[in-house]
Amino acid sequence: MAITEYNTMDLSLEEVKVAAGEAQNMARWGFKFSSPPPALGKPLEGFYVGFQTGSFPQETITYLEERLGNFPVSWVGEVTRNGEIAIGNIESENMEFTDYLNRWVNLMGAVTDKKSTHTSVKTKDVEATAVIFLMEGTKGDRTLEFTLKFCKPMAQTAPSGSNTPALFASGFSLKYDTFVRGVK
């Protein structure tokens, strides 16, 4: 395969797109359950929700550092893979899919349509395993995938009072205990 050289000073943005292809949109994510929350049962067939986020699941590595014979030496001390991710601008072709997510969030406080029942749900009944994936812009192929284990929903983001449509978007945060990164 021949290597092509480009003079980046002379190329326009449209010429770069023709040569290198469209840039990856980092905001287009998809969400599915690989193991749904037991308290809700299985979601509807074909469950899928699209969303936007500004963060990736990321591990935190803590190093232990010492000096041996006046030389600095470090070891991997602890790797934590827990965290949370904000899920916003939720979109779905089927409102029953987003209703399923709303019922999942409502499980945390056992809320009914009349009042809060002030009862709690067991964590094992709320936890789920979710798969989130970054989608390539034109074809919708998965380019990056994360399996979030022991997920629990956090509070929903309330819509703003603005009349700007983008600000009406709501969402929720997802807390997870560990994740596995997969590249497609």
Q: Judge whether 6 lies within some domain.
A: no
Look up the CATH number of the domain holding residue 143.
2.30.110
Q: Judge whether 65 lies within some domain.
A: no
Q: Judge whether 147 lies within some domain.
A: yes
38 and 125 in contact (C-beta within 8 Å)?
yes
172 and 157 in contact (C-beta within 8 Å)?
yes
> pLDDT digit of tens for each residue in the chain (184 aa)?
566 666 666 767 677 666 666 555 557 888 899 999 998 989 988 888 888 877 888 889 999 999 988 899 998 889 899 999 888 878 777 888 888 888 888 777 665 666 666 667 788 889 999 999 888 766 667 788 999 999 998 866 555 555 555 544 567 888 999 999 885 5
Domain residues for the domain of 88 are 24-56+82-182
**Rounded distance between C-alpha atoms, residue 47 and residue 27, angstroms:** 20
Q: Judge whether 164 lies within some domain.
A: yes
Q: Judge whether 71 lies within some domain.
A: no
Give the start-end residues of each E strand in 36-82: 49-52, 60-68, 71-80
Q: Judge whether 3 lies within some domain.
A: no
135 and 30 in contact (C-beta within 8 Å)?
yes
Number of domains the chain contains: 1
**What pTM value is reported for the model?**
0.72
